[in-house]
Structure 1
Amino acid sequence: MTRTGAGDRQRPPRVHPVLAAALLAAGCAATGTESTGWTVTVYYTAVAELHHGPPQLVRGCPVLDCAHGSAELGSFPADFVAAVRSEGAGRIAVGKYLNWSSDTGFWLDTAARDTAGRPLRPWRSAAADDLAPGTRVRLTGCGQGAEQAVCDRLSAGEWTISDAFTPGLGGAKHVDLYVGEESGPDFTNDPMFTTLHGASLRTG
């Protein structure tokens, strides 16, 4: 399946949680009303065992509280490493994650995290530039770009803004919904990995 907008969509990298907690104070207050014209995307945690590209050595920080490390973190499938760069996190084993942010590079962790350092919650965590942290979000209309089953699943989610784009890259009226770990090989061709245009949200 060709995903709507797949050719021009760029995944905005997220800010490292240790350095970015202050960003969560930014944003507009929730309106408590429904608004239209939103772009809705989804993000996920990659899973190493679902990728089979050539091995790529990754260097970075062996712990969370570190920046621009150069330690050898291990070799992982190159397509998995690319997915971690795109989505921000990947599970390499039970309870072990390779995470990435644009301001600090790769690091090893025990969870996929939001910008405040809290574990991401599938079907609960979301990111936005112009909604305040803690704002509750419900998708009330999918606009264009999703199959009905996908629209129904996303509309059933109860999302809270707890994550953030790198400043300047998310954009106005753009919300990113976290759907958890990828569910199978080639997840980016799954209908769930969608982009909705002209969607409606209720916030507050």
Structure 2
Amino acid sequence: MLDRVRAGLLLTVAALAGCGTAPPAPPAQPTAGVSVPSMSATTSAAVTAPRPSRQVSGGWEITVYYTAVERFHSGEPTRVTGCPKLDCAHGDDDLGTYPADFVQAVTDEGTGRTTAGQYLNWSYDVGFWLDSAPRDTDGDRLTPFVSAAADPSVLPHGTRFRIAACGTQDDGSAPPATICATLRDAAWLITDEFTPGLGGSHHIDAYIGPETGPGFTDSPWYLTLTGAGITVD
């Protein structure tokens, strides 16, 4: 997965025309899509206020990661080799030819859905492999608005948490109110860890599902939150 802790690692998802629509809703809601209220309905101050019921741990950087979708990509055809299924590491089987920017997105995000309906996954310790689902580096299925990754010495595998305060974006602005509200409503679970040497002790990657249109990384959903607060269950 997360070999893209944006030195850029990353956190954002789309809701603008030409950049796709909002990603799937958190599991407590129907997974087909998320219906987001008007951004003017909630002030950024309200949505970034910490939840009062639990002690908030502040100073977190939270980025999003997603499943790339081949049909939204183009570019020079690039042949990929690896494992035809998750039963080897750094295999040399022919896994097919895909657009160059799709292959790059899979390498950055860790997973991509092909036009054939399979998933081309990647991790630093396995390389590329084909699968029936998007998976993390341990082979566990990724669940939108649930799966997350962190430094295991800080947030161990199995830790449940919520985003209590969204903080600000890289440019110092408040994130869109509807996006912050959706991230805060989700119940997150640490199921993965960063590539060794990447991430940092106060960094979380949160999985938001498949991209929903071309230009997804230019959408307001593809963002990084700084100075965010979390509560651990």
Asked whether the two chains share a fold, i.e. TM above 0.5, the reply is: yes
Determine the structure 2 residue equivalent to 1:69.
91
1:9 and 2:38 aligned: no
8 Å Cα contact 1:127/1:161 also seen in 2: yes
Determine the structure 1 residue equivalent to 2:225.
196
SS in 2 for 1:123: coil
8 Å Cα contact 2:123/2:137 also seen in 1: no
Determine the structure 1 residue equivalent to 2:63.
41
1:136 and 2:160 aligned: yes
Counterparts of 1:125 and 1:95 in 2: how far apart (Å)?
21
Shift of 1:156: 1.1
Shift of 1:78: 0.4
8 Å Cα contact 1:43/1:179 also seen in 2: yes
Gap runs ≥5 in structure 1 = 1-6, 12-31
Counterparts of 2:186 and 2:116 in 1: how far apart (Å)?
26
Determine the structure 1 residue equivalent to 2:205.
176
SS in 2 for 1:168: coil
**Alignment: residue pair count:** 179
What's the C-alpha RMSD, in Å, of the aligned pairs?
1.8
Counterparts of 2:132 and 2:60 in 1: how far apart (Å)?
33
Shift of 1:142: 0.8
Q: How does 1:120-159 map to 2 (within 5 A)?
A: 120-129=142-151, 130-145=154-169, 146-159=175-188
Deviations 1:124-154 (A, max 9, x none): 1110102011111111111111222211111
8 Å Cα contact 1:95/1:111 also seen in 2: no
8 Å Cα contact 1:38/1:173 also seen in 2: yes
8 Å Cα contact 2:110/2:136 also seen in 1: no
More strand by share: 1
Residue identity in the other structure for 2:204: V
What is the aligned-residue identity percentage?
A: 52
Shift of 1:103: 2.0
Shift of 1:120: 0.4
Deviations 1:17-48 (A, max 9, x none): xxxxxxxxxxxxxxx73200000000000010
TM-score (norm 1): 0.83
